[in-house]
Chain A
Amino acid sequence: MKYAFYPGCVSQGGAPELYPAAKLICDRLDIELEEIHAWTCCGAGVMQEKNQLFSDTLNARNLAKAEQQGLTIMTICSTCQGVIAQANTRLLADPDYLAEINGYLAEEGLEYKGTAQIKHLLWILIEDYGLDNLLPHVTRSLGGLRLAPFYGCYIVRPTEALGIEDHPERQTSLETLIETLGATAVDYDGKTKCCGFPILTINEKNSMSMVGNHTSEAKDLGADAMVTPCPLCHLNLDGYQPKAARQANRSIDLPILHLPQLIGLAMGISPSELGLKKHIINTAPLELKLAGSTSS
C-alpha cells in the first residue's frame, strides 16, 4: 500500500509530535508514504475567505502532483482533509474554473485532470487497510480505557464534499476504530462540534468556552482521554485546556491523543516514541492505566 503523503503545516509546526507518530505507525503497518514534493498549505479555510482562487490554485497544485504520483492522497488532519476535498469539489463541478486554474499551473508544467482521491488516515485504515488486517498488529490491550472521539469540523461537514453519502460509515469511523482497538468509545454531544481554534485569537473567551465544554463533558462521562484526527483541534484542546479550565473554574486534566498516537499505543509502541511527552496535559495517568490494563 502506498500513498501520496500530505502532512499539513501543523504536524510539523505547532504539533510536531504528530508527523513522526504518523510516519512510525505507517511504517510498522507497511503503509508506504511518498510525500508530495514541495506541497503547500491547504489554507485551513482562512485563505479561502480572502482569496478562493489563490487557495484553490494551490490545492489544485497539490492535487495535480499527487495525480502525477498516481497515488491516493493521505492526510493526517481533519482540516486539511476537508479543505482539500472542498477545493476538489469546486474544481470538478466547473470545467471552466478548472481550466482557468490549470492555466496558472501550466507555468510549472502541471495540469490537474481531476482524478485525485483524498483520504484521511482514519478512513484509510478502515476502508483500504481493513480492520481485520489492523487487528494482528494490536499487541497492547486498550480494554478498560474509555476514550472520547473528537472529529474536527472539516472531516464531518459539509457531507457533500466528504463522500459521506457513499461512505456513511465515515461518520462513526473514530468510534469504530476506538472499539476495534479494544477501548470503549464515550458518546457525548461535543464530539462533532467546533473546538474553537479558528477564533482563538479573535474571541478567546468563546474559544475557551468550547474547549472547556467538550473536555469537561467527556471527562464527566468518565473518559480517560480524548482522541482526535485533527492537529488544529489538538492545539486548542490540549494546549489551551489549562486556560479553559481556569475560565470554567474547575479542573479538567483530560489527555488529548492524536489518532496515530492511539494506534501506536495499541501496537505496543512506547508513549515516549509517540511523542506523548510533548503534550501540555500530562498523559502519565493514562499511561499508568494503560500499563495496568496490559498487565492484568
Chain B
Amino acid sequence: MDVTVKIKRYDPESNNADYVWQEYPIAIDENATVLDALIQIREDDDGTLSLRCSCRSAICGSCAMKINGQGGLACKTKASESMDKDGVIRVEPAGNMDTVKDLVADFDMFWNKIREIEPYLQPEGEVPDGEYVVSNESMLHLSAVTACILCGACVSDCTVLEVDKSFLGPAALAKAYRFTADPRDGNEDGVSRDRLKVLGQPSGMWDCTRCNMCVQVCPKGVAPMDRIMAMHDQAIEAGYGNNNGARHADAFIESVGHTGRLDELRLPVKTVGITNIPALLGFAPVGWRAMTHGKLPPLIHKSVEDVQIIRNLYRKLEQ
C-alpha cells in the first residue's frame, strides 16, 4: 500500500528556527499502524527523524501525537484509515506543549499538572479494624478512569490549554476524579472536601468548556470531561457552590425546572450573583448592543404549556 507521510519536523540545532513539513512517500503493509510507518521511515529512509515509542500496543502511552490534526496514539491508529483521498497522512508532535525535536514533545507541563494531584488516598474518617471495604461497583466505575496511560493526547488537544496554560487540564482532572470518586478518600461519606475545594480554584475544574475534545481523542475511554462534569456536581454537593460555574449550573436547572426553557436574560445575572455590581455593570455594553439590535432575550420569560408536568418532574428528581 502506497502512502505519503507528511511530517512536521523541527530541529533545534538547525539554522532554521521554524518547523518544516517533510513528505515521505513509502510502501507499507495494509495493516500497518501510523507508528509502523514512522519507524519504517526512521529505519529505511531518514535516520534523523525523532519520535518516542515503546510498547507498540497502546499500553505505554509514549507515542501520542497529532495525526491529521487530532491527538492519538500512533500505535493504535491504522495507516489505511488515516489517509486522505490523495493517500497522505499528516503527522505532528502533540499540541499545547513545546517541541523538543520532530515528533518529540516536551512533557514537562503535562507532568507538572499531574503532580498537582496528590497521588494517594486520604481517608479522614475512623480507621477500620480490618481493610477498607469498597463495593465492586465503585471499583468498576473507577477502573474506567484508572485506565489512563498518561499519554497526553487529551492535553495535546485541550481547547482551554490552547488559550490558557495555567488550566489544570483534562489528564490531571481525570486523575483527581480517580480520588474524589473513591469511597475511601475524604470523610466518612467518601466526600473529598479538601480536594474539591482546591480543584474549584481558578484554573481548576470550572474552566473546562465541555467541548468534548478530550473525550474524543482519549485512546482508553477515560472520558476526562465527563469526570470533570461529575466533579462539578460533587463540589456543589460538598458545599463549594460559591462560584460562577456552580451558580451557572444551579440557575440553569432552576430555570428549566420551573419554566421548561432557559431564561437567557436572567441566567448570566444569577451566574455572577445579583449583588455583584461590578460584574453586572460589565454586562451593560453587551446588553445595550443586543437591545439596540433587537436581540435582547424577552424580558418576560414564558413557561411552556403544561408547565406543571415539568415542575413535578423537577421536584421529584432534583429537589
Q: Which residues of A contact B (CB under 8 A)?
A: 9-10, 13-17, 37-41, 43-51, 53-55, 57-58, 82, 104, 107-108, 153-154, 157-159, 189, 193-194, 196, 198-203, 205-206, 209-210, 213, 239-240, 242-243, 277-280
Contact = CB atoms under 8 A, between A and B. Distances in A.
B213 interface: yes
A104 B318 CA distance: 13
B252 interface: yes
Contacts of B19: none
B159 A58 contact: no
A54 B211 contact: no
B316 A13 contact: no
Contact of B206 (A39, A154, A202): A202
Given A13-B264, A14-B290, A202-B245, A213 B163 contact: yes
Interface string B127-164: 00000000000000000000000000000000110111
Given A57-B313, A206-B160, A40 B256 contact: yes
Contacts of A104: 313, 316-317
A10 B298 CA distance: 11
Interface residues of B, number: 62
A50 B250 contact: yes
5 contacts: A9-B261, A13-B262, A14-B295, A194-B213, A206-B167
B271 A153 contact: no
A122 to B, nearest CB: 18
A193 B256 contact: no
B312 A38 contact: no
Nearest to B223: A158
B1 interface: no
B215 interface: yes
A40 B260 contact: yes
Contacts of A49: 210, 229-230, 232-233, 249
Contacts of A17: 295
A194 B252 CA distance: 20
B306 A38 contact: yes
A105 B285 CA distance: 43
- For B202, B236, B289, the residue with the greatest tally of chain A CB atoms inside 10 Å of its CB is B289
Contact of A40 (B167, B310, B317): B310
A38 B260 contact: yes
Contacts of B54: none
B297 A239 contact: no
Contacts of B163: 206, 209-210, 213
A107 B271 CA distance: 33
Given A40-B261, A199-B206, 10 more contacts: A15-B295, A17-B295, A40-B256, A49-B249, A54-B257, A54-B317, A158-B212, A201-B268, A242-B289, A280-B293
